[in-house]
Amino acid sequence: MKKTIGVVMLLFMVLATVPLALSQGGWETVKDPVKVFEEGYIQVVGASEEGQSRYKAVRAAEVVAQRKLLEILQGINLYGVTTVKDGMLHSDAISTTVKGFLRGAVQCGDTYYPDKRYAEVCMRLNIRGKGGLYDIILPIMKDKQLWPEQKPAYKPALIPKAVETKVPEVKTAPPAPEQKPEVKASAPPPEVARPSELTNVYDGLILDAREFQFRPALVNRIITDKDEIVFDPSKVVSTVLVERGCGGFTTDAGKAKALLQSWGCQNPMELKVKSVVKLTDAQVGTDDAAAIYVHDQKSNMLAQAKVVFLLK
């Protein structure tokens, strides 16, 4: 009987330590810019020194976490090569706002380790949503003229009538005996016609920038090779801008489609970036710019920021 009780007590002690073991190091740090904009938040874990009471250890860990949050936040691009840190140096309003923004950091968990008497605290800063970075910084950037240089809006000079897109015939060598010829044809380009004449309307955009060094920022733009604006925050409905910014970011094509689908997009257009300007402006060719323009006239995808940048 005593042996049974001893086994039960040992089992209870082991089980009691499981939540502690799982919580230790269980929080994910989200600080890489691509990951930050993909997930929509910055997340860090701060740890206190050992030999403190629970209250003092947790408070010290919070201070460490807040310091980490500020360091990561300052490295986020506003646009181009300009970072939040640069904005804080050039504008007292941004500096004050960022400090206030840090006070709104959410604690996503804490753990105290009584054996060594130290604590870990997980803290998160939201980029999107009410009270997030888009919500508080973008208006100040506009007000303090920290916005990117204004450029003319793109509009195609002439939209041709709809024409039937034909896939060119591919000639192949005669097949070997008992073999069928393999014919490979590239996908036709997006249809460019008057919006009322489009036969297959695209309601979202995936822009593949994986061949270039492209950075997510608070302000990402799509431009032409003539520096005309195809897409920027001014085209996005204000409530949508708070939730999505200039669209989504991911390194996976499947996730890009899934994200757009979650926004109500059923038929995304997929284009490749022609070049990147100042790290945060994606440049597209004239034909692609025309395609984006005419399909947006029909689906209103840009105003809803149904745009996902595919990054390497």
pLDDT digits (tens, 9 = 90+) for 272-282: 999 999 999 99
* Cα–Cα separations (whole angstroms), residue 138 to 40, 90, 176, 247: 16, 15, 63, 14
- What is the DSSP secondary structure assignment for residue 124, as one 8-state letter? E
206/307 Cα distance (integer angstroms): 6
Distance CA 192, CA 285 (A): 13
Domain count for the chain, please give it. 2
- Would you say residue 169 lies in a domain? no
Nearest CA-CA partner of 233 in 117, 97, 139, 101: 139
**Nearby residues of 157 by Cβ (< 8 Å), 6 or more positions away:** none
Residue that is last in its domain, among 143, 170, 185:
143
Shared domain check, 199 and 115: no
- 125 and 218 in a single domain? The answer is no
Q: What is the pLDDT of residue 7?
A: 40
Residue 64 lies in a domain: yes
Is 215 inside a domain boundary?
A: yes
Dump pLDDT digits (tens) for 21-74: 333 558 999 999 999 999 999 999 999 999 999 999 999 999 999 999 999 999
Domain end call among 83, 108, 143: 143
- Whether 152 maps to a domain, the answer reads no
Q: What is the four-CA torsion angle of 252, 301, 305, 307, rounded to 10 degrees?
A: 20
251 falls within a domain? yes
Is residue 11 one of the residues assigned to a domain? no
* Cβ atoms of 221 and 273 closer than 8 Å: no
Structure tokens at 15: 């089980």
47 close to 120: Cβ distance less than 8 angstroms: yes
* pTM: predicted TM-score of the whole model, two decimal places: 0.78
What is the Cα 144 distance to its own chain's centre? Answer: 25
The domain containing residue 264 runs over which residues?
A: 195-310
Is 40 within 8 Å of 134 (Cβ atoms)? no
Indicate whether 63 and 127 sit together in one domain. Answer: yes
Report the candidate in 106, 20, 96 with the shortest Cα–Cα distance to residue 62.
106
What's the mean pLDDT in 242-256?
A: 94
In the block, residue with structure tokens 């809803």: 304
> Measuring CA to CA, how many Å separate 311 from each of 49, 198, 213, 222, 300?
39, 29, 8, 14, 24
Q: Please give the single-letter amino acid code of residue 205.
A: L
Q: Could you tell me which residues come within 8 angstroms of residue 287 by beta carbon, excluding any fewer than 6 positions away? A: 189, 192
Outline where 113-252 has alpha helix (H). 133-143, 238-244
Token look-up 């070997």 returns 176
Nearest to 60, CA basis, from 47, 77, 71: 47
Average pLDDT over residues 135-153: 85
Sign of the dihedral defined by the CA atoms of residues 282, 284, 290, 294, in that order:
negative
Q: Which of 122, 143, 164 is the last residue of a domain?
A: 143
* 135, 199: one domain: no
| % residues pLDDT > 70 (the chain) | 82
pLDDT digits (tens, 9 = 90+) for 95-120: 999 988 998 899 999 999 999 999 99
Asked whether residue 189 is domain-assigned, the answer is: no
Is residue 160 in some structural domain? no
